[in-house]
A and B are shown apart, each in its own frame.
Chain A
Amino acid sequence: MGSHPAVKNAVTSHRQRRLRAGVFVAILTLVLAACGTGGAQDGLSPASERASNIDGLFRLTLIIAIVVFVLVQAAIIYTSFKFRRKKGEEPRPVKQIHGNTKLEIAWTIAPAIILAGLAVPTVQTIFENAEEPVDALEITVTGHQWWWEYEYTDLGVVTANEMHIPVGQDIALTLTADAGDVIHSFWVPRLSGKRDLVPGHENTLTISADEVGLFLGQCAEFCGLSHANMRLRVYAHEPADFDAWVESQLAPATVVEDSEGWELFVNKGCTACHAIDGTEAEGGGLNPGPNLTHFAQRDTFAGALYDSTEENLSAWLANPSELKSMRPDLNRGMPNLGLSDDEIATLVAFLQGLS
């Protein structure tokens, strides 16, 4: 199972604690580690400081909960067997005990003490994770039905669904949604807990990645028809690689303005929704779609749902709602433009040329 490095790290760090805490905790921790899938969206394989804070707190709570669970269930099972009337036995009179005040006080206070103990690290972690990040990369995330828009406010990069970040640096996310949109929730389990994107509000969330890699996430607040298809990816790079990515994003769009593809892109009305920076295509409007300036650099499209292959893109342009449920009639999602096969081929080539 846990071939993922983060899982191994978690297991190792727990091993040290385990020696101190004894055999019981050892077994328990193994069980918990076994629960992680090591998948790219697995909340039990944290890959950032804040996600590790959460994970540690959860595991502590879980260990206490499992101890209480075992004690209570053992009491239920023991009582059930010990005081069970055997088959065929006549009912036996038993003492009519109405209660015991000392016991009541004991089992009122005991859970209260445990909870008070749990409250301390809980409150600590709440405030720790809410701390303002320092030297953070700032990204504004806007949730749309049903895709993600990322604006790197200091760098001037705008992209969609696939977020690129440098490892080891705090990323300060500002989370919001357009006034006409609905609530979404940004969740990349390995990097942080989730936080909602609410129309008219600006929420903040700090994420980071301790290691290079691809981290998956998706919208966690039900946002209508294609909620299940609103996925996202975070690519964490070494700082140098990240800088290179930024540079490639800032490069002018590779568009030949009198090519057949460009003509089609303009004439079919794509520019009404999709922007290509540095051209007359400014996007926006009633139904803003993802910025396509460097579309060909992205691995996926349609809310990170499909790989950007020629085949998938052709099928998408032929009938977008076939691949992903949308409501273009209500300005939510991409309409079917009624393109011919030749037009589709030309446009796919055009899109794949947007490197």
Chain B
Amino acid sequence: MAESHGGAKGPASGAHTEADGGHHSGGFPPFESSTFASQLVSLAIFFVLLYVIVSKLALPKVGGAIEARQNKIEGDLAEAQKLKDQSDAALKAYESELASARTRAQAIANESRDKANAQAEAERKALEEQLAAKLAEAEKTIASTRTTAMSNVRGIAADAAGQIVQQLAGVVPDAASVNAAVDASLKG
């Protein structure tokens, strides 16, 4: 792999020689060994400083933020799932409640219809009985009134027959024979 970068170094060396021919006083700066100690000491100081900052402060902080976000997302997803389960359960409960309410309503409707029917039937029966009783009574009244009227007719007929006989024959007929004649006539 180092060989492949020899090519990249080519222009560097080319420029190097060109610069050496120029006015630059020192050598090629990256190879000036007098600066090595200073650079190594600075590198050690600043790299250790960076390492301490990174390992003690930066990574825990950024890692913590990422982890907190991850936890929050997972927590929120779990919460959402829980709420969804709850709403599903509520929906199920609502549907079963609705179904049972429907059957109950059906039952109540049937029951009340039956009751209403039965009551109407009973009322109808009572009314019929009442009407039948009234009819019978009325018939009885009619019958009695007829009997009375018939007996009155007999009296009136007997009276009228007596009068007619008295007018025609000038004789007052005997009441018993008149009654007998009227009866016979009524029967006939």
A, B bound: no
